[in-house]
Structure 1
């Protein structure tokens, strides 16, 4: 099964595509969608949607997973993140995908073994779980971690 993982963000959204065959995982692709910080919010949301449509069309995943929102200290930042995530969820639903949603702490625990893992630990474990992967950046590593979490937990109570 091909799984598309997303680490949502308005400025940078990480994405990763893996193949899960039983317990065997393999890397297909990963990257980052960067929006123009000087553009208006609607234009940035459109950039996210357009890029997502392209990625979904290219890799045709059977399933998708996205990281849930964590609350920032800055409410404006949180609101922008929520809107970006909403745009991405809409795109996944429009593609007919069933979407798993995972809390950041759960993803960290599933990949590293502790919910307080640092980004470098996530990156290192993703490289171990997907040998030979060239990760496009920390957001892409997080997206691959979300996809891996989904491969292991989809259909199981969390």
Structure 2
């Protein structure tokens, strides 16, 4: 499964594309950050990021699209920018008929680190290990986008034995526990903590 993940932001919008095999091993296809200057007109910033996302969708032709679910923050201006970019991104994915997944920050962190309250450094470290990268993706928005894509693939993809004969990795088991907790309603409060 090829998933394009987006960490939405108006100044920095992280984009990661990963291929995930049936045994849930992941390979990095592409990672980048689409940037816009803060002093540019809003409509031009949205247009620039939309064109960047369009180009990446056309180039990599993902099987699915994943994006961080927008949460309220104290900084209204920041959350508005995230919401606007999320709307643009969701529109582009829907236009192509892609299956779409919206994932909370704590779901994503639990998926890749095994801990729903992991910090950005821990997420970046685990993304680097999971994908066998020579160096960590920079900035953090890039690593977050990859983590969102991996989370989505693990959630949607078939469960198969991982390499070495183990049924799942510790991070995958932690993610499964976090997902079960979310279904039971105990995950709601943790999900409101953003990882920005």
Could you state the TM-score of these two structures normalised by the residue count of structure 2? Answer: 0.76
- The residue number in structure 2 matching 1:145 is 147
Displacement of 1:39: 1.1
Displacement of 1:100: 0.6
Range with bigger deviation, 115-124 or 67-76: 67-76
Matched residue SS, 1:117 = coil
Say if 1:67 and 1:101, in contact at 8 Å, map to a contact too: yes
Matched residue SS, 2:5 = strand
Q: Cα deviations across residues 71-107 of structure 1 (Å, max 9, x unaligned)?
A: 2212222122111111111111122211111001111
Matched residue SS, 1:36 = coil
Unpaired runs of 5+ in structure 1? none
Displacement of 1:133: 5.3
Say if 1:64 and 1:99, in contact at 8 Å, map to a contact too: yes
Displacement of 1:146: 0.3
Structure with the greater alpha carbon radius of gyration:
2
Displacement of 1:30: 0.4
Matched residue SS, 1:18 = strand
Q: Cα deviations across residues 96-137 of structure 1 (Å, max 9, x unaligned)?
A: 211111001111111111111110000000011000255242
Unpaired runs of 5+ in structure 2? 159-178, 184-196
- The residue number in structure 2 matching 1:120 is 121
**Root-mean-square deviation over aligned CA pairs:** 1.6
- The residue number in structure 2 matching 1:5 is 5
C-alpha distance in structure 2 between counterparts of 1:29 and 1:155, whole Å: 20
C-alpha distance in structure 1 between counterparts of 2:134 and 2:32, whole Å: 12
Displacement of 1:26: 0.9
Say if 1:108 and 1:122, in contact at 8 Å, map to a contact too: yes
Say if 1:31 and 1:137, in contact at 8 Å, map to a contact too: no
Runs of 4+ in structure 1 deviating by more than 4 angstroms, as ranges, are 155-158
In the TM superposition, what are the counterparts of 1:1-158 in structure 2 within 5 Å? Answer: 1-22=1-22, 23-132=24-133, 134=135, 135-154=137-156
> Could you say which structure has the higher strand fraction?
1
